[in-house]
Amino acid sequence: MRRLRARRALRRPTTALAAIAATATTAGLLAAAPSAPAAPAPALAAGPSATGLTLGAATAERRALTGKRTVMVVGNNWDGTATIVDGETRRKLDRIDIVPDLEQELRDIRTTPDRLAFYLAVQQGVGEGHDQYVDDAFTTRNGRFLAVSRPSLSDVVWIDLRKAAAGDRDSIVAERQMDGYRTDHMGVSPDGRRLLVSDSTERQVIEYSMVNERRPDGTRIRMGQRLRAFESGDTPHENNYSDDGRRIFHASIGRVYTAPDQDFPAPIPDDFVHDSVKADRWLEVVRTRDFAVTKRWDMGLELEEAGHPDMSSAVRPVALSPDEQTMYLQVSFFHGIVEFALDEPDVAGSADYTTGPLGGATVPEPETGRVTRLIPLPNLVPDVPREQYVLDSAHHGIAMNESGRKLCVSGTMSDYAAIVDPRTEERKLFRGDARFLEGREYSKPYWATEGPGNTCWMSMSGSDMVTIIDFRTEKVIGEVAVGDHPQRVREGRIRESIVATF
């Protein structure tokens, strides 16, 4: 069992990534030209057998009133495209290029030694030998633009959807480079005005504007403008706003691209070696008004307090209950769900550890927050060593339906989707061959999100498709073929006048 102790801030993640870059240099990779993504494929007509629905009168009326179409945007990470799917009929609408500026970006990277080193480090490490061109994507609230984080290019861009649909090479209307060398998960505020972007190698999350607006003092803000940042641990990752927009739930996952992952034999303490390599992994609550970090937990120590020692501190995707008092979260290497009560008193009743620094001072364990339960799910790869887990992810993807009665879980390493009742822990697994798309299978599920009509949308990154599961009936009701290695899937809205050009 690990001893509860203070966790100090460890080396910056750029050190470990730099080591990977150095290895790439030694292997002669720096002399190789970075690979270009595959050209966007034309949008294929998806029949009812693949996607299921015919447009109803109520939906048509709603579209006419709002002038916008509800869509699901699928980011195809390895080929640099986004597939746009009608969120209600589940028909594929278009597939657009997210890297129209790739040639210029690669020229800039090749002539900048530090950027080139990290580009190749990301490719050979986090990218599993592939370039990462699309991680996360959100539509703007006016339905005209798409904000996209591009990990290998270490930036976030805003794309004019009308131009992208037409194949114009000048579709990028704003671009912002990170302070570091890689972007990752994003998050959009409930009012659609602000965008959070995880700056992977700089221990921070940066806020950008998603709108053009004028502040009360007369200051003009432009879409894409950088506004603020808050502190994170190593490798900032997940960002979720509370429903009222007043809080941000954020997690950093540490150096998931490094070993060691297995337990170490005595006399070397496995926690010391593992924690020193993986670095700072925190779950934080951030006050939106001033970006103050109001709470910070080390989930590995919280799990230990609750009687579950030797579990990872790295919080992966999370789902919040409708009342936002309970968080259902995934942690590295664990095949299952951790139930965490955000507002219940700490198990020990006192601060047993500290994290930090935050502004030069360590942060004590919060007085509230406790692990109340583990919900184990099947581990179908018991003989696979943890070093072979995809970026330490046993599971990577979790979503909750609006009623809070069911969870949808991506069993990444075990190649299954699961619908779980958190009250009874009853579950239904979906695995094997695709239900509607011939020649496809449930492989490497990598994200889950709730969609229109009480549905769960899950990316199958190993088979280039998205599957749609009905929460109520617990049946697969649609599947959509998408681009290479789909990851994030996000609900959005696009103007009908733009959809008409798809």
Q: For the chain, what's the residue count?
A: 502
Model pLDDT for residues 388-407, shown as the tens digit of each residue: 999 999 999 999 999 999 99
Is residue 52 one of the residues assigned to a domain?
Answer: no
Is residue 55 one of the residues assigned to a domain?
Answer: no
Q: How far apart are CA 158 and CA 145, in angstroms?
A: 6
Q: How far apart are CA 319 and CA 467, in angstroms?
A: 19
Is residue 54 one of the residues assigned to a domain?
Answer: no
The residue-averaged pLDDT of 67-93 equals 98
Q: Phi and psi of 370, rounded to 5°? A: -150, 145
| pLDDT level of residue 351 (50, 70, 90 thresholds) | confident
**In the beta sheet, which residues pair with residue 374?**
338
The answer to whether residue 30 scores a pLDDT higher than 80 is no
Model pLDDT for residues 214-236, shown as the tens digit of each residue: 999 999 999 999 999 999 999 99
The answer to whether residue 212 scores a pLDDT higher than 90 is yes
Q: What is the pLDDT of residue 371?
A: 98
C-beta separation of 459 from 82 below 8 A: no
Is residue 41 one of the residues assigned to a domain?
Answer: no
The residue-averaged pLDDT of 348-375 equals 88
Burial of 364 (0-12, 13-18, 19+ CB in 10 A): middle
Tokens of 122: 């990301």
The answer to whether residue 36 scores a pLDDT higher than 60 is no
Q: What is the pLDDT of residue 31?
A: 42
The answer to whether residue 82 scores a pLDDT higher than 90 is yes
Model pLDDT for residues 416-428, shown as the tens digit of each residue: 999 999 999 999 9
Q: How far apart are CA 157 and CA 498, in angstroms?
A: 19
| pLDDT level of residue 58 (50, 70, 90 thresholds) | low
Is residue 50 one of the residues assigned to a domain?
Answer: no
The answer to whether residue 94 scores a pLDDT higher than 90 is yes
Model pLDDT for residues 470-487, shown as the tens digit of each residue: 999 999 999 999 999 999
Q: What percent of the chain has pLDDT over 90?
A: 77
The residue-averaged pLDDT of 76-84 equals 98
Q: Which residues of 16-55 are buried (b: 16+ CB within 10 A; e: fewer)?
A: bbbebbeebbeeebbeeebeebeebeebeebeeebbbbee
Is residue 183 one of the residues assigned to a domain?
Answer: yes
Q: Among 18-22, 64-68, 191-195, 360-364, where is mean pLDDT lowest?
A: 18-22
Q: What percent of the chain has pLDDT over 70?
A: 83
The residue-averaged pLDDT of 247-266 equals 77
Q: What is the domain count for the chain?
A: 1
Is residue 156 one of the residues assigned to a domain?
Answer: yes
Q: How far apart are CA 31 and CA 14, in angstroms?
A: 22
pLDDT: is 187 or 22 the higher one?
A: 187
The answer to whether residue 306 scores a pLDDT higher than 60 is yes
Residue (of 478, 455, 453) closest to 466 by Cα position: 478
The answer to whether residue 267 scores a pLDDT higher than 80 is no
The answer to whether residue 3 scores a pLDDT higher than 70 is no
| pLDDT level of residue 59 (50, 70, 90 thresholds) | low
Q: What are the start-end ranges of the E strands in 200-313?
A: 204-209, 213-214, 220-221, 226-231, 236-241, 247-252, 283-287, 292-297
Domain membership of residue 105 as a residue range = 13-34+68-499
Is residue 59 one of the residues assigned to a domain?
Answer: no
CATH number, residue 236: 2.130.10.10
Q: What is the pLDDT of residue 54?
A: 60
Q: Following DSSP, what letter does each residue of 425-457 receive, concatenated?
A: --EEEEESB-SSSTT-B---EEEEEEETTTEEE
C-beta separation of 405 from 396 below 8 A: no
274-278 long-range contacts (CB < 8 A, ≥24 apart) are 275/7, 275/10, 275/313, 276/10, 277/16, 278/234, 278/254, 278/312, 278/313, 278/314
Q: Share the mean pLDDT of the chain.
A: 89
Angle at CA of residue 50, ends 49 and 52, nearest 5°: 70
The answer to whether residue 81 scores a pLDDT higher than 80 is yes
